Amino acid sequence: MEFLIMNGAGNRFAVFDARATPGFQLADAQVRAICEPGSPAMGALGADQLIVLRETPEADVFMEIRNRAGFAVGACGNATRCAAWLVMEERGTDAATVQTEADILHCTRAGHMRVAVDMGEPRLEWQQIPLKEAMHTHHVDVKLGPIDNPVLHNPGAVSMGNPHCVFFVDDFDTVKPHLAGPMIEFHPLFPEQVNVGFARVDADSDDGLGRIRLKVWERGVGMTLACGTGACAALVAAHRQKRTGRKAVVEVDGGELLIEWRDDTEGGLGHVIMTGPVELEGRGTV
C-alpha cells in the first residue's frame, strides 16, 4: 500500500489513506516497524507518528493517530495540519474539518503550505489531564533532582487532547531534556504517561509577540523536532504562570509555530489557535 511522507515543522509522519479501504488495519508491531528510524519504509529519520485517514460522517476526514511505540494517541496538532492540507488540496477549498479521538478540529489555509488549526479549549482540571490525585494544575507537584535544590520543579499541566506537563527552564544544557524526559514520562502522577515540555521564555519579538523556545519529550516517541499540542500546552502553561501573554511564537527544533490562546469565548476558557507549516516530503510503499 502506498503512503505519504509528511512533516509539520519537522514532526514527521507516515500518512496512510484508508478512506477507500475501511478494513485496513495495522498491528502495533507493524506500526513500530514502519516508524522505526532506519526502517525501509521511512528511512534514517523514521516517523514520529503513523496516521491513518478514514471516512467519517461527522467531519471531512477522521484521523487515526498511532505513535512510534504503536499505541493510539488522541491528538496531534502537526498531523492535523497535514491531514487538513491534503483534504483542502483534494477538494480545492480553503477550510477542512478533521476528527480525532479527542475532538473535531476546524482548519483553514494560512498561506502557502501553511494551515491554522483551532485546537479547542485547553483542559485544565486535574481529572481532564488526567492526574492521579486532585491538585491545582497551574503548578503540579513534580520535581527532579535534590529535594532542597531540584533541577526541575513546578511544571504546569495541560491537556490539549493528550496530557502535557511543561517545565520552565533557563537553559537546556543544565536540564538535559533527553535524560529528564523519560523519567518524567512515567511519573506516577500521570496514569496515562505524559508528554514533557521544556520551555524557555525569551524576550518578546520586535512585533510584540512573545517567544518561547521549546523542546518536547513525547510519550512513546522520545525527543521530537516539533510537537503541536506541546507548543499549545507551553503557551497556555506560560500564560497561566504569568510568564507571557496569550500569543507567542513557539520555536521548536524543526521550525516555528504561532500559538494564540484567545480570550473571546463567552463563558469559556478560550480556544487555542495553532498556525504552522506543512511539507509533503514524498511517497513510500509497504
The DSSP call for residue 112 is T
**Contacts with 18 (C-beta within 8 Å, 6 or more apart), sequence order:** 24, 52, 53, 54
Computed over every residue of the chain, the mean pLDDT equals: 94
Map grid coordinates 504552522 to a residue.
276
Residue 259: closest CA among 77, 6, 74, 8: 77
262 exposure class (CB count in 10 Å sphere: 0-12, 13-18, 19+): middle
What is the structure's pLDDT at 207? 78
Cβ neighbours for 254, distance < 8 A, ≥ 6 positions apart: 7, 9, 10, 11, 225, 226
Every domain of the chain with CATH number 3.10.310.10 lies at: 2-118+278-285, 143-270
Please compute the mean of the pLDDT values over residues 12-19 and round it to a whole number.
Answer: 97
| Active-site residue, from 35, 107, 227, 232 | 227
Instruction: Write the CB contacts of 264 (distance below 8 Å, at least 6 apart in sequence).
Output: 270
227 is catalytic: yes
Residue 273 burial (CB count, 10 A): 20
Question: Model confidence over 125-170: pLDDT tens digits?
Answer: 999 999 999 999 999 999 998 888 899 999 999 999 999 999 999 9
Residue located via cell numbers 511564537:
249
Cell numbers describing residue 7: 512533516
Nearest to 76 by CA among 112, 49, 113: 49
pLDDT of residue 267: 67
Q: What is the mean pLDDT of residues 108-120?
A: 97
- From 104, 50, 38, select the one nearest 79 (Cα to Cα): 50
The label of the residue with cell 527552564 reads: 169
Question: Could you give the C-alpha distances from 121 to 8, 64, 125, 171, 259, in angstroms and in order?
Answer: 21, 21, 12, 30, 13
- In percent, the amount of the chain with pLDDT more than 70 equals 99
Given this model, what pLDDT does residue 206 score? 76
Q: Is residue 232 annotated as part of the catalytic site, yes or no?
A: no
Give CA angle at 50 (165, 254), nearest 5°.
60
Q: How confident is the model over 24-72, as pLDDT tens digits? A: 999 999 999 999 999 999 999 999 999 999 999 999 999 999 999 998 9
Cis-peptide, bond into residue 22, ω within 30° of zero: no
Q: Work out the pLDDT band at 231, boundaries 50, 70, 90.
A: very high
The mean pLDDT of 103-132, rounded to a whole number, is 96
Q: Decide if domain 2-118+278-285 falls under CATH 3.30.70.260.
A: no
Average pLDDT of the segment spanning 178-194: 96
Nearest by Cα to 77 from 217, 233, 181: 233
> What pLDDT score does 116 carry?
98
Over the stretch 242-274, which tens digit does the pLDDT of each residue have? 999 999 999 999 999 999 999 876 667 899 999
Residue 193 pLDDT > 90: yes
Assess whether pLDDT exceeds 90 at residue 83: yes
Residues 99/251, Cβ–Cβ less than 8 Å: no
Residue 158 burial (10 A CB sphere; 0-12, 13-18, 19+): buried
Catalytic residue among 76, 107, 165, 232: 76
Query: Please, what's the largest Cα pairwise distance for the chain?
Result: 59
Q: Which CATH superfamily is domain 143-270 in?
A: Diaminopimelate Epimerase; Chain A, domain 1 (3.10.310.10)
